Amino acid sequence: MNRHAQAAVLFLLGAALLHAGSTDLYLRYVKAGLRPLLLAAGIVLVAAALATLWYERRRPPETHPHPEPRIAWLLLLPLFALVLVAPPALGSYSASRTGTALQQPYGYPALPAGDPLRIALADYAGRAVYDGGRSLAGRRIAITGFVALDRSGTPYLVRMALNCCAADAQPVKIALSGRIPPVLQPDAWLEVTGRYTPEQTRDPVNGGPVPYFEVTSARPVPVPRDPYDETWNG
């Protein structure tokens, strides 16, 4: 790979990062808070490509040019991954094989008014398990997530939570009781409305706590813009 090819690859890789960071595509790879860093990385790569071309034009010709390392062609791999492959968000397959990652929240901010109260799944699970549901009791609650079934067919509503990127995504689960739809399709996104119940169970994978949610109604919803749970602070 000569210097011009290196510059071209760097430029294309930087442009791909800028494209991903300026659209919702980046949400398939990293959490929303890392968008500025992704855009900055794209700008640095584009600048490096332009600097390489500028340096190459000013450099005197070499009598005996040295071959560039072939390993530089590996830069094409992440480029192909960004351009050709847009991976789907992790879903029920991962959730059913990974134990719940629920951890005790740092605190319990006051919940907003509203009927129903729309609350993130991880927030509901944390309050239900570690706060005894004190802030949830007596409220009509709406939660959105995707359906996962364990090996016995027990239904869960799940959101995958990120620490950094999709590679470290872990599920947070709530078990469903009450008026559950008779047919549940894994990976289908639902908004369930109902109420807090003190009942809890244990995740069959890792034994972690899983709170129940008593469903009074459920409706299918589109996949959200950001399929990962942004309230996670694991």
Sorted by where each starts, the structural domains of the chain and their CATH numbers stand as 3-84 (no CATH), 92-229 (2.40.50)
Read off the pTM: 0.71
Helices 35-58, 3-22: axis angle to 10 degrees equals 160
- pLDDT for res 162: 77
Strand partners for 118? 142
Confidence of residue 234 (pLDDT cuts 50, 70, 90): very low
Residue 118, phi then psi, degrees to nearest 5: -90, 120
The Cα-based distances of 89 to 8, 55, 94, 149, 223 in angstroms read 30, 41, 10, 17, 10
User: Which tens digit of pLDDT belongs to each residue from 169-215?
Assistant: 789 999 999 999 988 899 999 999 999 999 999 999 999 999 999 99
115-127 average pLDDT score: 94
- pLDDT for res 73: 67
Q: Please provide the average confidence, as pLDDT, over all residues in the chain.
A: 82
Peptide bond into 224 cis (omega under 30): no
H or E, element range at 37: helix 35-58
Measured CA to CA, the distance from residue 64 to residue 223 in angstroms comes to 58
Look at residue 233 and tell me whether its pLDDT is greater than 50: no
72-97 average pLDDT score: 71
- pLDDT for res 232: 45
124-128 average pLDDT score: 95
H or E, element range at 43: helix 35-58
| Residue 200: closest CA among 189, 192, 191, 212 | 212
DSSP class of residue 25 equals: G
What 68-77 contacts at long range (C-beta under 8 Å, 24+ apart), as own/partner pairs, is 68/1, 68/2, 68/3, 68/6, 69/1, 70/1, 72/1, 72/6, 72/9, 73/1, 75/6, 75/9, 75/10, 75/13, 76/9
Are 171 and 98 spatial neighbours (Cβ–Cβ below 8 Å)? yes
Q: Token digits for 111?
A: 């919940």
User: Which tens digit of pLDDT belongs to each residue from 18-76?
Assistant: 777 777 766 666 677 677 887 888 888 888 878 877 887 777 766 555 565 666 667 66
Could you tell me what percent of the chain has a pLDDT over 90? Answer: 40
- pLDDT for res 211: 97
Confidence of residue 157 (pLDDT cuts 50, 70, 90): very high
- pLDDT for res 88: 63
Measured CA to CA, the distance from residue 8 to residue 42 in angstroms comes to 14
